[in-house]
Structure 1
Amino acid sequence: MKIIIVDDDCLVAGALKTILEADPEIEVTSTGSDGKQACQLYRQYRPDILLMDIRMKGMDGLSASAQILGEFPDARILLLTTFSDDEYIVKALRLGAKGYLLKQDYASIPPALRAVYSGQTVFGTEIVSKIPELLQSSEAFDYSSQNISERELDIIRLIANGYSNKEIAAELFLSEGTVRNYLSSILDKLKLRDRTQVAVFYYQHK
């Protein structure tokens, strides 16, 4: 698993590199100090995961994430910060970041990297508990205007409640393959990237 670390605090970047390289499954291919370098390094190395601070001088982590994901939609970006900032949480979710963790929780970073590498989206406990409240919106959304069927809306609701494909299949008496087909259709109709964005979309338009 090849990782790039970008943090404007060289001591933090060094500490993260030391911690991660103690894991035989992780190789830190490069480090950077701002969002501009993050974009350059991503293009150069195409890492499995970009581990990046959000608050940096010059181009910050969110701006860099937006640029990288615009160029490489499948990029896996795990964002770090020193505090839980509501505005950043929402922006990171909307961008399609694969994770958002509090930087001081070093022990959680290696397992979070493995989870993101395996295709999961990871948010720290403090963050997960706040997501539904942060994304609530009073704006009603007409799903039928996007040709979303009642069955697809059921699946959207279950995804937003954290159900896996297997759990959705059991709940709705469908096969997992059928659930995957529905999810692909939902992503296409709503122009979303993954199931995390489906959950974000649901809470934004609830």
Structure 2
Amino acid sequence: MKIVVVDDDKLVCTSLKTIIESEDNIEVVGLGYNGQEAILLYSQLKPDVLLMDIRMDVMTGLEAAGTILGGDKDAKILFLTTFLDDEYIIKALKLGAKGYIIKQNFESIVPSLRAVQIGQSVFGQDIVTKIPGLINSGDHQDHQTFDLSDKEREIIDLVAQGLSNREIANSLYLSEGTVRNRISVILEKLVLRDRTQLAIFFYKNLL
């Protein structure tokens, strides 16, 4: 797995590189120190995951993510930050970032990178507990207006809990392929891009 790390603190970049490369089959192929460098490195190196800070000089991580995802909707961006600002979390979710974790939880960095690589969305517990309160309850709609079956609502619930396709399959006694296909159908039905947006939809409309 190829990783690009971007943080405006060079010591943090070096430390992250050391932590990440202590694991098997994972390599930091580039280091950057602001959002502009993140865009350039992503374009040049096409990493499996871009691990990036949010607050940086020259260009923020959120601004860089907007540009990168605008050009490649499949880009896998994992934010690693010291900040739990509601505004940042909302922007990261809306942009389609695959994760948002806190720097202090360094032991979760590599597992989060591996999860994002295989298509999961990763949000630290500090983030998950904040999400329901960040969603505008005034926009709530009856789930019946979305033409969702009971099984589809079950699947959306489990996606919002962060379960993988395999875990959802085991929970609902379905095949992994069936779960994958049903999630694709749900995304198409709700005109959503990915599992992150599906989780936001759950908290906004079904919780």
- TM-score category, normalised to shorter length: 0.7 to 0.9
The total of aligned residue pairs comes to 205
Q: 1:136·1:203 contact (CA, 8 Å) conserved in 2?
A: no
Q: CA deviation at 1:164?
A: 5.1
Q: CA deviation at 1:5?
A: 0.8
Q: CA deviation at 1:173?
A: 6.9
In the aligned structure 1, how far is the partner of 2:88 from the partner of 2:133?
Answer: 14
- What is the match of residue 111 of structure 2? 111
- What is the match of residue 149 of structure 2? 150
Q: Write the mapping of 1:85-164 to structure 2, written as runs, cut at 5 A.
A: 85-141=85-141, 148-151=147-150, 152-162=152-162
CA change 1:171–1:54 in 2 (3 A) is: same
Q: CA deviation at 1:105?
A: 2.3
In the aligned structure 1, how far is the partner of 2:119 from the partner of 2:186?
Answer: 19
In the aligned structure 2, how far is the partner of 1:11 from the partner of 1:132?
Answer: 35
Q: Give the fraction of aligned pairs with identical amino acids, expressed as a percent.
A: 57
Q: 1:136·1:205 contact (CA, 8 Å) conserved in 2?
A: no
Secondary structure in 2 aligned to 1:62? helix
Asked whether 1:28 is paired with 2:28, we answer: yes
Q: 2:121·2:195 contact (CA, 8 Å) conserved in 1?
A: no
Q: 2:39·2:64 contact (CA, 8 Å) conserved in 1?
A: yes
Q: Provide Cα deviations, 1:152-190, integer angstroms capped at 9, x if missing partner.
A: 345434433555556656776765544433321111122
- What is the match of residue 59 of structure 2? 59
In the aligned structure 2, how far is the partner of 1:173 from the partner of 1:4?
Answer: 38
In the aligned structure 2, how far is the partner of 1:137 from the partner of 1:36?
Answer: 36
Misfit runs of 4+, over 6 Å = 170-173
Output the amino acid matched with 1:92: A
In the aligned structure 1, how far is the partner of 2:114 from the partner of 2:164?
Answer: 18
Q: 2:80·2:101 contact (CA, 8 Å) conserved in 1?
A: yes
In the aligned structure 2, how far is the partner of 1:139 from the partner of 1:164?
Answer: 28
- What is the match of residue 69 of structure 1? 69
CA change 1:205–1:9 in 2 (3 A) is: same
RMSD over aligned Cα atoms = 2.5
- What is the match of residue 48 of structure 1? 48
In the aligned structure 2, how far is the partner of 1:98 from the partner of 1:80?
Answer: 11
Q: CA deviation at 1:135?
A: 2.1
Q: CA deviation at 1:117?
A: 1.7
What's the TM-score, normalizing by structure 2?
Answer: 0.85
What's the TM-score, normalizing by structure 1?
Answer: 0.85
In the aligned structure 1, how far is the partner of 2:16 from the partner of 2:165?
Answer: 34
Q: 2:140·2:204 contact (CA, 8 Å) conserved in 1?
A: no
Q: Provide Cα deviations, 1:45-94, integer angstroms capped at 9, x if missing partner.
A: 00011110011112111111111112111111110111322221122122
